[in-house]
A and B are shown apart, each in its own frame.
Chain A
Amino acid sequence: GQQVMQIPQYQHVQEGEDFTTYCNSSTTLSNIQWYKQRPGGHPVFLIQLVKSGEVKKQKRLTFQFGEAKKNSSLHITATQTTDVGTYFCAGRNYGGATNKLIFGTGTLLAVQP
C-alpha cells in the first residue's frame, strides 16, 4: 500500500538556526498538504501544493513539491520557539479512486532558546 515517510524523525536546533524536513511517497501524489501538530494538540493545516515543482512561501516557511510529485520538503528559516511541534506531510494518490489522505511519519522539531 501507499507509504509516506519523513526524515528526520526528530530534529533539535538552536533558536535562529534553519530546519528542513523531507517527505517521500512510495506512489505519485495528486497533491501534498502540510500540517503542524503542537504537543498535546491536533494537526493544523499549513498549506497545499498541487503542481509539479511548485514552491510556496509563508513568511519563514518554504514548501516545495517535487517534479515527480513523489516528494516534498518544508524549510524553516531562522527557527523560533513558536515553531516547536511535529510537522506532517499528507498526500492523496494520483488517480486514486477515493480521496483517502495518507499522513507521513512526521518530524518532531525542538527549538532551544
Chain B
Amino acid sequence: GAGVSQTPSNKVTEKGKYVELRCDPISGHTALYWYRQSLGQGPEFLIYFQGTGAADDSGLPNDRFFAVRPEGSVSTLKIQRTERGDSAVYLCASKSQPNTEAFFGQGTRLTVV
C-alpha cells in the first residue's frame, strides 16, 4: 500500500476483554515497530520486528501484551484482559532498512471503559 495502515482507527472495549490491533506496513519494509502513546507524551516503545521474528520485545509492559508477524508483513498486537490503564493511541511504524526513517500509521485509539 501507499502507507502504513492501522485498523481499527478507534476501539472501545470493556475492562477485561481481549483486543487485537492490526498493522499493515509499507510493502517491502522488513522492520516493524509498535509504540504506545498517551496524551501529551512521546511514543513509548513496545516491540520491534525484523522480518517475522520479534527482535526486541523489551517494551511490552507485561504478559497481557503479545504481538505477532507470521509472514513478515502484517502484524497484530494482542492485549488480553484489558485494563483502563491500557487506554492510549497504539502506533505502528515500518522501515525499509534499520537506519532509515520510520513511517507511522495513523494509529489505533484504544479506550478501555
Report if A98 contacts B (CB, 8 A): yes
A99 lies within 8 A of B101 (CB): no
- Other-chain residue from A44, A45, A88, A100 in contact with B45 (beta carbon distance below 8 A): A100
Kindly supply a per-residue 1/0 record for chain B positions 22-49, scoring 1 wherever the CB is within 8 Å of any chain A CB and 0 otherwise: 0000000001010100001111110010
Q: Which of A69-110 contact B (CB under 8 A)?
A: 88, 90, 92, 97-106, 108
Interface residue count on the B side (C-beta < 8 Å): 27
- Measured between beta carbons, the chain A residues less than 8 angstroms from B42 are 4, 6, 88, 103-106
In the complex, what residue of chain B is closest to A96 when comparing beta carbons? B56
Q: Which of B72-109 contact A (CB under 8 A)?
A: 91, 93, 98-107
Report if B10 contacts A (CB, 8 A): no
- Measured between beta carbons, the chain B residues less than 8 angstroms from A99 are 31, 48, 50, 55-56, 98-99
Interface residue count on the A side (C-beta < 8 Å): 28
B102 lies within 8 A of A42 (CB): no
A103 lies within 8 A of B43 (CB): yes
- Measured between beta carbons, the chain A residues less than 8 angstroms from B59 are 100
Report if A64 contacts B (CB, 8 A): no
- Other-chain residue from B40, B58, B93 in contact with A100 (beta carbon distance below 8 A): B58
Binding site for A on B (CB under 8 A): 31, 33, 35, 40-45, 48, 50, 55-56, 58-59, 91, 93, 98-107
Q: 4 additional contacts, CB 8 Å, given A88-B42, A99-B50, A103-B35?
A: A30-B99, A42-B104, A101-B102, A105-B41
List 26 A–B pairs whose Cβ atoms lie within 8 Å, in order of A's numbering: A31-B99, A43-B43, A43-B93, A45-B101, A45-B103, A48-B99, A48-B101, A90-B102, A97-B56, A98-B50, A98-B55, A98-B56, A99-B48, A99-B50, A99-B56, A99-B98, A100-B48, A100-B56, A100-B59, A101-B33, A103-B42, A103-B43, A105-B41, A105-B42, A106-B41, A108-B40
Binding site for B on A (CB under 8 A): 1, 4, 6, 30-31, 33, 35, 41-45, 48, 50, 88, 90, 92, 97-106, 108
